[in-house]
Structure 1
């Protein structure tokens, strides 16, 4: 695999039918943007891709969707399935049970050549569970891309002991599903994720590193805007930037503490935070955590969502990028910042540990050491020459990570997986033929074939019923896991609503 010509797309994949299941699709977050880039690349090179993704409650991206049943000349580009939107992030949903046979019928009319699971969770878990109940000759090969640390999110968002139970539940489910023979490859983005998967006893020969690419034309130092800098820092303050969805698991508590510490040290700075949350209560809670730095003095500026050239200009117009999350499996925003020529200060945990070269393109600090983090920011803020050196190094490093090469690597693995599956089926067929011949040589003639067949029919029926029972039990287990998670998130949502309602009634807040 390492010697494959990743500069080219494999001709053998053109026309192959790929069912790509993802938990989100659109410019929602780094994971979904990565999936979009892969889908676009595969389709542009002739692969036959149908996407399965949940409906979104408040979507910023609505792709073309054909609701009519597919014919031989027409297939849907994306199949949306229903689910319950997460209160913390309505762009993501816990999907309701969906039969794999229905997805086959709605996509290609029959089984695909390969199934690709992007960051499997509520959709991916269902697909893997249903496939493992199929007989070997009907098991479609699976490639997974592990991009979201669900257990890590649960550990941060949920209170004890629910956090421990949720982490254990996800670890158990993932270990059970990933170890099945139908799962051929699990891409992982960083050493942090590989260690986690190995702890779940996933076979090492299935694991393959797959980092992410960056659009080095869009994210470029030339996007720096003097107009935007004047708007952000009219007095010439140092501009710090953070690009992230506003959510508790993204490390905003740490960032707020860092901002207060920098202010206490007398640094003249503006912290420009790009991102938001479709849940207004969550967004308000994050903003309130910065206190007077945001509400009174304007040291912290919340810019809201930015995409495309506006996002690229925000990156390039800053001096230092601050990354405070410890749950990122990769951290695409870190690479986008480096492509923009902006050095990074990040906590040394998760994906950024594999992206940032400490002392060359930025700094990595111990995850819990606020003082070390602030010290590194101060060092860069006070030394323009060092920032320029780091900026040059960061841009050079990002230029080596192109989407085309990374997506071609996925395409080559798809071809190898499809070929391997075909060879295994051929060998299985030969084994059955050889077994029949051996039985004939041992004197088992045609007269015994019919009784054996007659006896095998009830056995097959029993096996089918057992498989259905196991599938039902597994679906119930997974559904209960998501029900518990969903119930807790509903509880949180109600709490946010009550808090927002009570706040709005306070004097000076627009209440009556």
Structure 2
């Protein structure tokens, strides 16, 4: 045998595979392939294949068209039956002639007679995609063990299957190494083994039906002729290789077959046909390539261009629809978004196959644990709010302690940080009632490419990114958790006074909770709320966040801080509010108290859609300073005397903890969850109405000894809530779900 390393794609299809491949193909009578054998030959040679073959389904008509060429050997993929299992498998047979093909067609009804014939005739063959369910065949432990008894070669890499199958199939093959194990299987099933070697060896092929990915997966062996190459397959002297695997190959296949099907029916518009001919490799026209690449802004390899188009086309179509509405543009936009979802459908099917393979391996006693890595999903990261702050803490801890956690958000990719993955915003729109906060929509294709590498998905926000991530998690069968951080239904009610809208939003929220494997809430109050709305209590876990007591501390108190930094002529006591300036925060109560205490100073730190309205109605002793962060915020807390927080919709009240850590007694609402931090009369007060807030504030301001006592108790409580420990426990609780759907 020669020393030349020869390569061949040992699994591929031409137009001779002319039967429909699935229920939809059957419905429209669309064949599995339209690819011409001559195109296959040309592309395989361009991609470095030494020897050429075609393995159509149960026919050699395609390969016979190029069989006269010296590098070609005749092959076929046969559907063969296990009579006692009512099961079917695909067997790839290489280096045959027309007489042998006719014999094999007759023997397909019995796999044992089929393989026996191949052995007697010394014909090279391999079991195609061993763990793939051929025509709904149920892959069982007994069926796999019969594969072991029959086949010396397994196709270990198939270009259209998922990335994880190779490892599983190779582990199974290695599990049965040795004649002793083969003899044990013979006794178990009372079947004589037809194996020639005690070790299973491997082949590989693209399984291409569309012509775009031919030769990107291959089998190689040292051979200086095709006869030597076939001998290497029979004797197990092969190795396998592949370019990157992924759903893109099936996407190309579906796209090319659909395009060829429509072209033959003259339904492709003439003005786009030259460009689609380039995309699907029917032509190499330079100007078509230039136009397509410029239009979609891509330098991707040619076999990824179709993916780039369906990634960007929906947003281009949507922009045009908004600019110029018409029914035609509407139809094109809808169709483009349907195409945009196609990768998710394909990958979910591949993931299902991979999960089935893992279950089979587990039944055989193999461990297929995937390295854990958590995707922490948030629609808000660079904004100023509690959810964004939590996301930043998770990312910081992941980076500091080298945790297998990444925060996934939508934003400018120049804002790079460790353990932060940013997706490109394809479109964005303002949040109702809160125009400053933008909801950014990423590409589903880009999101899918990111999330397929994770073992668990945690969704911190029910925005566009969060909802899309839930969809991906469910279709990829990944463990999913959800955090209820924001009481959106109550917010909506505050702005609209619509009970129907509030009820509808709670139903949507409960639906999301039902989809999740676990739901995290920041307080006992909202645990009860979700249970009352219909979420199982067993699914809910309370996560209480700690506070950064190094940043928020009484030591940062500065005399005349507000005068020096904001020009505020403070008098009397400083009563502080920190948070979003919006209607749901009940800041009218804050203004009410300011009017009751005209000799004291009331300061609002934060911004939002309600600020202008409040500033028009505020008394003279009330001031708005806008957003503060970091040390400036810490100094603002510490330089105040009382923290008054009237919000009735808080799911936790992180700012209450920050105020306590700064040594401030607090007054909070009895509604929402902020009051869970407060021991009445010890570290603060809980109020029920504007008048009650004013009365409780009067008790603190009028009694310096009480204020000092409450300050110490508030500080003590905050320091008992360790930030790092609480978040590490939170991450650990989420990660514990990673094995739920193994």
| Pairwise same-fold verdict (TM > 0.5) | yes
Q: Does the alignment pair 1:158 with 2:502?
A: no
Q: What residue is the counterpart of 1:102 in the other structure?
A: 446
Q: Does the alignment pair 1:29 with 2:349?
A: no
Q: Which residues of structure 2 form unaligned runs of 5+? A: 1-368
Whether the 8 Å CA contact 2:579–2:607 is kept in 1: the answer is: yes
- Report the TM-score when normalising by structure 2: 0.47
Q: Does the alignment pair 1:404 with 2:724?
A: yes
Whether the 8 Å CA contact 1:18–1:114 is kept in 2: the answer is: yes
1:165 Cα deviation from its structure 2 partner: 2.9
SS of residue in 2 equivalent to 1:329: coil
1:80 Cα deviation from its structure 2 partner: 4.2
Q: What residue is the counterpart of 2:594 in the other structure?
A: 259
Whether the 8 Å CA contact 2:606–2:626 is kept in 1: the answer is: yes
Whether the 8 Å CA contact 2:575–2:644 is kept in 1: the answer is: yes
Q: What residue is the counterpart of 2:415 in the other structure?
A: 64
Q: What residue is the counterpart of 2:675 in the other structure?
A: 353
Looking at CA atoms only, which structure, 1 or 2, has the larger radius of gyration? 2
Q: What residue is the counterpart of 1:170 in the other structure?
A: 505
Whether the 8 Å CA contact 1:42–1:411 is kept in 2: the answer is: no
CA distance in 2, matches of 1:248, 1:210: 27
1:347 Cα deviation from its structure 2 partner: 1.2
Q: What residue is the counterpart of 2:531 in the other structure?
A: 198
Q: What residue is the counterpart of 1:289 in the other structure?
A: 617
Q: Does the alignment pair 1:79 with 2:417?
A: no
Q: Does the alignment pair 1:274 with 2:605?
A: yes
SS of residue in 2 equivalent to 1:78: strand
Greater relative CO, 1 or 2 (CA 8 Å, sep 6+): 1
- Give the structure with the larger helix fraction: 1
SS of residue in 1 equivalent to 2:584: helix
CA distance in 2, matches of 1:16, 1:93: 32
1:73-100 C-alpha deviation (Å, 9 max, x unpaired): x99732243321226434533444752x
CA distance in 2, matches of 1:48, 1:324: 39
CA distance in 2, matches of 1:93, 1:28: 12
- Report the TM-score when normalising by structure 1: 0.67
SS of residue in 2 equivalent to 1:77: strand
Whether the 8 Å CA contact 1:24–1:91 is kept in 2: the answer is: no
1:142 pairs, out of 480, 483, 490, with: 480
Whether the 8 Å CA contact 1:23–1:93 is kept in 2: the answer is: no
1:250 Cα deviation from its structure 2 partner: 1.2
Whether the 8 Å CA contact 1:143–1:184 is kept in 2: the answer is: yes
With over 3 angstroms needed to count, the CA separation of the structure-2 counterparts of 1:75 and 1:269, relative to structure 1, is closer
Whether the 8 Å CA contact 1:179–1:202 is kept in 2: the answer is: yes
Task: Provide the alpha-carbon RMSD of the alignment.
Answer: 2.6
CA distance in 2, matches of 1:286, 1:229: 20
CA distance in 1, matches of 2:508, 2:655: 29
Q: How does 1:4-15 map to 2 (within 5 A)?
A: none
Q: What residue is the counterpart of 2:662 in the other structure?
A: 340
Q: What residue is the counterpart of 2:268 in the other structure?
A: none
Q: Does the alignment pair 1:38 with 2:394?
A: yes
Whether the 8 Å CA contact 2:386–2:654 is kept in 1: the answer is: yes
SS of residue in 1 equivalent to 2:447: helix
CA distance in 2, matches of 1:330, 1:381: 26
Structure 1 range deviating more: 391-400 or 199-208:
199-208
SS of residue in 1 equivalent to 2:706: helix
With over 3 angstroms needed to count, the CA separation of the structure-2 counterparts of 1:319 and 1:257, relative to structure 1, is same
1:32 Cα deviation from its structure 2 partner: 1.2
With over 3 angstroms needed to count, the CA separation of the structure-2 counterparts of 1:52 and 1:77, relative to structure 1, is closer
Q: How does 1:65-464 map to 2 (within 5 A)?
A: 65=416, 77-81=421-425, 82-86=427-431, 88-96=433-441, 98-99=443-444, 102-105=446-449, 107=450, 110-132=452-474, 134=475, 138-159=476-497, 163-180=498-515, 183-228=516-561, 236-263=571-598, 268-277=599-608, 282-290=610-618, 293=619, 297=620, 299-366=621-688, 369-422=689-742
Q: What residue is the counterpart of 1:466 in the other structure?
A: none
SS of residue in 2 equivalent to 1:28: coil
1:308 Cα deviation from its structure 2 partner: 0.9
Whether the 8 Å CA contact 2:423–2:442 is kept in 1: the answer is: no
1:26 Cα deviation from its structure 2 partner: 2.5
1:157-183 C-alpha deviation (Å, 9 max, x unpaired): 114xxx223212212222222113xx2
SS of residue in 2 equivalent to 1:179: helix
